[in-house]
Amino acid sequence: MSSTDAVLYDHPGPKAKARNLVLTIVFGIGVAALLYWVYSRFDEKGQWAGNLWEPFTRASTWSDYILPGLLETLKAAAVAMVLSLVFGIVFAVGRLSDHWWVRVPAGVVVEFFRAVPLLLLMFFIFFGVPFLTEQPMSIFWAVVLGLTLYNGSVLAEAFRAGVHSVPKGQSEAAYAIGMRKGQVMSNILIPQAARAMLPVIVSQLVVLVKDTALGYIISYGETIQLGVNNLSANFGNVVQAAIVAAIIYIIINSALTAFAGWLSRRTRRKGRAPRASGADLEQRTIEPGLGGGGGTL
């Protein structure tokens, strides 16, 4: 272990290990007791009755309610993810500009959309924009634009923090060899900032996927609207539908987190220099031009 690791983290001793084990057992017992209490309360109300779960064994339930809602959720999330990342990069660069007339408006936009609740953004876009354009607003784009403006503003701050975390000497060296600021940002700072802030970016994208559920307020046909509201209205099983929807969200977000972990490991491997083989090392130790078998460096 390096000296830095030793300063940042001390391995627990025997007493600390025993204490951590006791706390883990106590916490585990507490969680198990809480889960049993929830199960027993649901059981008292008859929420585990088979007739309430039976609709989920029908193919029509999935084809008419759950899968169409899931498809709309994934469509809105996928488009909003791409637009949010673009929005975040553009406005992060704007906030880092040397020109105040770019930096200040970019900062106002980012801070405004970070402060406004996402639900209000969706409401205003869906109900307010038609007053300005005199054209009906698409429910899909109302949800996507709301998600983009809010999450893109958060990602802009994440990218800006990531750029500031890159050692200043790297940008100074780039300027010293004649690179322009645009080249420095696109080739040196932004790629490293994205890698450094990958956990934050993934966390925000997970939040984005969950925030698509707010679309049901303006009747967007996503998982909550079709898979919970419409389904429970027909079968009277709102708790069961909500549990199934929650499991679906957990699976999606776990898959997204796992993909981000794989991507992070892959980018770290690509950033490392290839390990030299034994033959390469032996060849490098031989200095050409010396008499006989040559000498070593």
pLDDT band at 106 (very low <50, low <70, confident <90, very high): very high
Q: Are 190 and 159 in contact (CB under 8 A)?
A: yes
Nearest to 92, CA basis, from 172, 166, 145: 166
**Mean pLDDT, to the nearest integer, of 204-210?**
92
How confident is the model at residue 203, as a pLDDT?
87
Tell me how far the alpha carbon of residue 145 is from its chain's centroid.
18
Report, as an integer, the average pLDDT of 262-285: 58
In tens, the pLDDT along 56-82 reads 999 999 999 999 999 999 999 999 999
Query: In this predicted model, what pLDDT tens digit does every residue of 140-181 receive, in sequence order?
Result: 999 999 999 999 999 999 989 888 888 888 888 888 888 888
For residue 287, report the phi and psi dihedrals to the nearest 5 degrees: -90, 120
Q: What is the pLDDT of residue 2?
A: 45
CA–CA dist 159, 190 (Å, integer): 7
Ramachandran quadrant class, 204 (left: phi over 0; alpha: psi -120 to 50; beta: rest): alpha
Q: What percent of the chain has pLDDT over 90?
A: 55
Using 50, 70 and 90 to split pLDDT, how confident is the model at 91? Answer: very high
Global confidence as pTM: 0.79
Instruction: Give the integer Cα–Cα distance in Å for 50 and 220.
Output: 30
Architecture of domain 53-269: Orthogonal Bundle (1.10)
Confidence of residue 272 (pLDDT cuts 50, 70, 90): low
Q: Answer yes or no: are the C-beta atoms of 206 and 253 closer than 8 Å.
A: yes
Would you say 145 and 125 are in contact if contact means Cβ atoms under 8 Å apart?
yes
